[in-house]
Amino acid sequence: MSKTKCWQRYEFTRKLLSKRWLKSPTDQDCQIEDEMPKSNYFDPQKIDWSISKLSKGILSQTDPHKIVDAHRRNYRHLHKPLQEIPFIQLLFDNLPDEVCPLSFPLFVKNRGHWGNALESNGILVGGWPSYHRGFDWKEFPEARHLKNDLLTLPLRQSLDLHHMDYIANCVKSIAGDNDYYHSR
C-alpha cells in the first residue's frame, strides 16, 4: 500500500479535510496516486521574484557547452549496455543531434522496487510519480504511463564514464536478481 494517508483515498474527505475544491480525479480501481508536493504548485506570490546573487554567481562560472557535452557523453555511454537488458525499455532509440538530455529515461515494471534497489546502490533516480489534483488523469493515459512507469537515471556533468559503467552494472544486476522487480 502506498504512503497515502487513509483519508486521501476518498475524494469527499480529501476535499473536505484538505480544503481543495478543485476537480479531483477518482480512479476506477480506487487507487489514488500521491499528490505532488505543495511546493510544486504555482505560487502567484513568487511571480516577481528574481534570480538570487548566488545563482547568478554560479551561472557566471558555468560553461553550458561542457555541461551539454558531458550529458550527451554519459547518455551515449549508457545507451548501448542498457538497450541489451531484458525487463527494461528505453524511452528513446537514439539521442538526436543538438539534444541535451537531463537524465536517462527508461520504462520498468514496478518502478518503486527498481528505484529502491538503485538508490540502495547510491544511484539517485528520478521520475514524475506525483499527480496534480486539478486534472482528471483518467483522460491522460499516456501521461499516467510516464508518471507510473518511467524511471530516470542520472547523467550529471560531475559523473564520469566509470560512474556510467557502475550505473549500467547495477541495472544489469537488478534485472538479473529475480522476477520480483519485473512483475506487478
In a domain, residue 79? The reply is yes
Asked whether residue 75 is assigned to any structural domain, the reply reads yes
68: CATH = 3.90.1150.10
**By residue range, what is the domain housing residue 74?**
63-181
Q: Is residue 93 part of a domain?
A: yes
The answer to whether residue 38 is domain-embedded is no
Q: How far apart are CA 8 and CA 35, in angstroms?
A: 9
Number of domains in the chain: 1
CA dist., res. 125 & res. 183, Å (int): 20
Angle formed by the axes of helices 161-177 and 64-83, nearest 10°: 30
164 belongs to a structural domain? yes
Classify residue 54: in a domain, yes or no: no
Q: Is 175 a domain residue?
A: yes
Q: Which three cell numbers stand for residue 42?
A: 504555482
User: What is the chain's pLDDT, residue by residue, as a tens digit (184 residues)?
Assistant: 444 444 444 444 444 444 333 333 334 343 556 777 787 788 899 899 999 999 999 999 999 999 999 999 999 999 999 998 888 899 898 999 999 999 999 999 888 889 999 999 999 998 776 777 777 888 888 888 888 889 999 999 999 999 999 999 999 999 987 554 444 4
Give burial (CB, 10 Å; 0-12/13-18/19+) of 146.
middle
Query: Does residue 155 sit within a domain?
Result: yes
What DSSP line would sit under 66-77, residue for residue?
HHHHHHHHHHHH
